């Protein structure tokens, strides 16, 4: 491509860019904007700005706006999240875990307690082992298929009408997506009334 060699030349020709072939102050050999600086420098500055914006904590107003958007568009948000490539989902999940170590730890301990409380004392060791196997199975399915599998309580442990038990015959391995659809349905009536 033929670019003017100096800014002056570019200005005279009305060109947006020029190319000197010389390194800029940061050492890039790149196009320069007639009304600005080296394009590579601009890119670098953008990247830095982007990172800074990500690190900045969200204001309460921004968080509230996000929550309002989610409430209004719950189905669409969930559908969009489910449609993302597996690789991206995995990355988002592990980023979330890194950013929210305390929340994740608290969730895990609540879940463990609920499971413990919903497990009948009379369950045999073999039955307990069977349940552990289902969790192993879910993890293996996730690894094999690159789709996230979870262990679902067929009758929810904290259902509106009845509370299910943490027993092998109330458990099944399903995809996270199916599980979300299910919880969606269960939640829907109470949010619409």
Comparison of 31 and 141: residue with beta carbon closer to Zn ion: 31
Query: For 21, left (φ over 0), alpha (ψ -120 to 50), or beta?
Result: left
Closest separation between CB of residue 16 and Zn ion, Å? Answer: 17
Binding site for Zn ion (CB under 5 A): 24, 26, 28, 38, 40-41
Displacement of CA 60 from its chain's centroid (Å): 21
Do the Cβ atoms of 15 and 32 come closer than 8 Å? no
Query: For 23, left (φ over 0), alpha (ψ -120 to 50), or beta?
Result: beta
Comparison of 26 and 63: residue with beta carbon closer to Zn ion: 26
Comparison of 45 and 133: residue with beta carbon closer to Zn ion: 45
Comparison of 38 and 138: residue with beta carbon closer to Zn ion: 38
Locate 88 and state its tokens: 């991206």
How many whole angstroms separate alpha carbon 116 and alpha carbon 165?
Answer: 10
Displacement of CA 174 from its chain's centroid (Å): 20
């Amino acid at each position: 491509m033929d670019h003017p060699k100096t800014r002056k030349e570019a200005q005279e020709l009305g060109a947006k860019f020029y190319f000197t072939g010389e390194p800029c102050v940061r050492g890039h050999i790149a196009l320069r904007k007639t009304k600005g600086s080296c394009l590579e420098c601009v890119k670098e500055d953008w990247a830095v700005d982007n990172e800074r914006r990500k690190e900045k904590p969200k204001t309460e107003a921004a968080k509230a706006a996000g929550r309002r958007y989610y409430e209004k568009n719950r189905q669409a948000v969930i559908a969009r999240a489910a449609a993302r490539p597996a690789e991206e989902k995995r990355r988002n999940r592990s980023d979330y875990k890194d950013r929210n170590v305390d929340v994740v730890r608290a969730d895990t301990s609540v879940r463990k307690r609920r499971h413990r409380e919903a497990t009948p004392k009379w369950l045999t060791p073999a039955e307990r082992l069977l349940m552990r196997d289902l969790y192993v199975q879910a993890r293996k399915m996730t690894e094999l298929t690159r789709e996230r599998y979870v262990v679902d309580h067929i009758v929810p442990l904290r259902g509106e009408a009845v509370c299910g038990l943490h027993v092998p015959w109330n458990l099944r391995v399903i995809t996270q997506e199916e599980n979300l659809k299910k919880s969606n349905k269960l939640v829907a009536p109470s949010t619409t009334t």
